[in-house]
Amino acid sequence: MKIEDQLKTNNLPPARKLSLSILVTANLIDENVAAALKPFDISIQQFNVLRILRGQKGKPANLSTIQERMVSKMSNTTRLVDKLIAKELTERIVCEANRRKVEISITEKGLELLKEIDPKVDAVEKELIQDITEEEIEIVTNCLNKIRK
Amino acid sequence: MKIEDQLKTNNLPPARKLSLSILVTANLIDENVAAALKPFDISIQQFNVLRILRGQKGKPANLSTIQERMVSKMSNTTRLVDKLIAKELTERIVCEANRRKVEISITEKGLELLKEIDPKVDAVEKELIQDITEEEIEIVTNCLNKIRK
DNA sequence: CTACAAATGTTGTTTAGACAAATGAAAATC
DNA sequence: GATTTTCATTTGTCTAAACAACATTTGTAG
């Protein structure tokens, strides 16, 4: 659907058209992913932290590493991790080498939860982009790369 | 910057690559626009409501209309509008024809604020997409349109 | 060594978002 | 015309985000 029709507006300058398209589409993706995660009682942010930790392949990550890799850089990653610890999906230990740091890792329970969730999120993403060809994906991601510098 | 490099991951399946690219880029846009709005002490959501009301060209809008057109459909548009009313940027009157509805319109002060803000936001958007050609904008927005159906 | 600065997280506080329930007005049904 | 349904918005409540202030450990310069 054209962004102008969706937002009932017209004559958007190109820069605004593109930025609104990206924002509205991102919102749609968020809504759909959040809905898929809901049965598992986990938020998108929490899900992302779990995926980051899994990507560490056993190595624990400290808070600033997680924060760097998060889609949305919110300031209180501490409390986000607190939630995951309360659910026993992650663990936190104080780093021995540098006692300012903490080392956070995903638990077995966390890995199992991800294994359950992954196919659902994959399905949502595939469903959303079903009309986009692989070639188009390349073009679009390249353009978006340029926006993110 | 490639999304894999940015998130320090690799071998993303195409659907996830695209969806992450969109989400991360949207986040970047949000951050930049929010920063531009900060001096005016107004949030992105509030800014969007003001633009929607301006788009009405004098005609007031009711709450559900605003909600439909918002980028992110949050549930308490009431309180969002309350904030704008407190700042005297909008007005709310109960609709005479259908007393369930309310009619919301932008004030002169609101219009003036928009006039001040617009060039700043335009500049942010242009700066962000400076490396994208008009042709590319067309291609990308078309693809995003397909995601939003 | 001591003091000062930087790094790394945590906590406090205020504001916004999600979601359900409630309110009140109009429309529909019996 | 009274009762029920639906509509449009508001309110309540709980959780999350923004942002600043604080705490603790480490690094460094005199």
- Helix/strand/coil for B34: helix
Estimate in Å the CA B100 to C1' C28 gap, whole number. Answer: 17
Q: What pLDDT score was predicted for residue B119?
A: 95
CB pairs under 8 A between A and B: 167
Q: With contact defined as beta carbons under 8 Å apart, do A70 and A45 qualify?
A: yes
CA distance A33 to B130: 30
With CA of A80 and C1' of each nucleotide, the nearest comes out as D16
Beta bridge partners of A87: none
Name the residue of chain B whose CA is nearest to A66's CA. Answer: B7
Q: What pLDDT score was predicted for residue B71?
A: 87
Please indicate whether, in this complex, the C-beta atoms of B19 and A134 are within 8 angstroms of each other.
Answer: no
The pair of three-digit structure tokens given for residue A116, joined into one six-digit string: 């359950």
How is chain B split into domains, by residue range?
Answer: 41-147
Name the residue among A99, A104, A41 with its Cα closest to residue A70.
A104
Question: Model confidence over B75-102: pLDDT tens digits?
Answer: 789 999 999 999 999 999 988 888 889 9
**Backbone phi, psi, residue B31, to 5°:** -60, -45
Q: With contact defined as beta carbons under 8 Å apart, do B132 and A147 qualify?
A: yes
In this structure, which topology does domain B41-147 adopt according to CATH? Arc Repressor Mutant, subunit A (1.10.10)
10-residue stretch averages of pLDDT, chain A, 149 residues long: 90 94 95 93 94 92 92 86 95 91 95 96 96 96 95
- Helix/strand/coil for A61: strand
User: What's the mean pLDDT in B6-22?
Assistant: 93
Residue B72 pLDDT grade (very low, low, confident, very high; cuts 50, 70, 90): confident
End-to-end CA, chain B:
28
Name the residue among B122, B142, B126, B103 with its Cα closest to residue B47.
B122
Residue B125 pLDDT grade (very low, low, confident, very high; cuts 50, 70, 90): very high
Q: What pLDDT score was predicted for residue A73?
A: 76
User: What's the mean pLDDT in B100-120?
Assistant: 95
